[in-house]
Every structure is written in structure tokens, then in C-alpha cells.
Amino acid sequence: MKKWHVWGMGLVCVALVVLMFGANAAMAQEVTATITGTATDATGAAVAGAKVTAKSVERGLTYTAETNESGLYRISQLPVGSYELKVEKSGFASLAYPAFVLTLNQVARIDVTLKVGQVNETIEVNTSAPILKTEATQVDTIINAATNDNLPLASRNYVQLTLLAPSTVWITIRSRITCWVTLLPRMRSRNST
């Protein structure tokens, strides 16, 4: 009886360890986006204490951050969608960016240059916000439901859409096993030698 009791406790401990490690992997999946950047003045000096506001066009929610002493700001865990950005600081004219779209796991870098003026003055930026991926070195592709519906797939197998991603090819091994292979890591290792 004691042997079964010890055996049962061992199984419970193993199950708890597996659940703990599984929870960490699930929490690591990111389903949001981030806006980051630097606020400077016309001379290139950092502007500390500027209020940065990202407003979701679809939801009407606002997310705020404040620049640090180096002029850096970061607004994390934003739901994907369309956003307008506004930067305000006393002694400077407010700066407003028109709506731009954030996609899944995107880190959008938007650096702003504030001009001296009154806070009630607003400078509207008519060009699109410079969304650059300078924060990460990944190549990714997002395939949404509309893409899946509109592409002419014979079997409607959504897994085949992974072939649309950059550096991905379909290979056959021993004429029965097929798989997708991403060539990017191999290409990097060849270039580094």
C-alpha cells in the first residue's frame, strides 16, 4: 500500500512539473504589438517627460506612456489594429500621426521630432508613420482568414499557406515523407563563414 502511495505522489509531482513548464510556453506566445521610439527636439536633444498617446481607431481606447530622460518611450501589449499617435510636451507644439496599422507581434518604431511652440498648437504629420522593424531580425508572414478564403487551394488545407512565407520550400524525403523547410538559418550560417 505504501509503495502505491509513493508511486501516486511521484506521478502527481511529475504532472505538476509538466503543467508548470507548459504554462510558461503558453505565456510566451505574444498576440499583441508594441510602439516604441525616441522623442527629440529640433537640435536632436532628447525630450524627457513627453506624453505619448496611442489611440485605437476601432476600439476608442487610449494607451499612454511618458518619455524617459533619454527621450525613449514604449507602449507595449497593444491589441493589433489601427492606431493614431499623439505626442505632447509643454513648451512644444503637439505632434499627431494619422492612423497606421499594427500587426501581430510587430514592434513599430516611430521617432518624433518636436518643434518649439504652444501645447494647443498641433502639427499633423501627413505622411504615414515610419513603421520600421529595427527592433527584431525576424522574417514573418501573417496569413489571415481572407487570404485563406481567396486563394485557390485545391484542398483548402491552410497548412499549405506556409509555403507563402519567405524562404520556405516543400521537399520530399524518400518519396513518402514531405515537410516544409525554412532556408533562412542555413543561408545565415553560409554567409557567416
**What pLDDT is stored for residue 151 in this prediction?**
74
pTM over 0.85: no
Most confident of 7-11, 13-17, 78-82: 78-82
Contact 77, 27 (CB under 8 A): no
pLDDT digit string, tens, across residues 57-82: 999 999 999 999 999 999 999 999 99
Architecture of domain 33-124: Sandwich (2.60)
**What pLDDT is stored for residue 165 in this prediction?**
73
The DSSP 8-state label assigned to residue 113 in this structure reads E
**What pLDDT is stored for residue 185 in this prediction?**
45
At 14, is the pLDDT very low, low, confident or very high (cuts 50, 70, 90)? low
CA pair distance 107, 136, nearest whole angstrom? 8
DSSP per position, the chain: -HHHHHHHHHHHHHHHHHHHHHHHHHHT----EEEEEEEEETTS-B-TT-EEEEEETTT--EEEEE--TTSEEEEEEEPSEEEEEEEE-TTB-EEEEEEEEE-TT-EEE--EEE-BS-TT-EEEP-SPP--B--S---------HHHHHHS--SS--GGGGGGGSTTEEEEEETTTEEEEEE-HHHHHHHHH-
- Range from 43-47, 124-128, 176-180 carrying the lowest mean pLDDT: 176-180
pLDDT higher than threshold 70 for residue 188: no
**What pLDDT is stored for residue 43 in this prediction?**
92
Other C-beta atoms closer than 10 Å to the C-beta of 129 total 21
- Mean pLDDT calculated for residue range 84-101: 91
Q: What does the domain layout of the chain look like in residue ranges? A: 33-124, 145-192
Most confident of 105-109, 181-185, 187-191: 105-109
pLDDT higher than threshold 60 for residue 141: yes
**What pLDDT is stored for residue 48 in this prediction?**
95
**What pLDDT is stored for residue 184 in this prediction?**
47
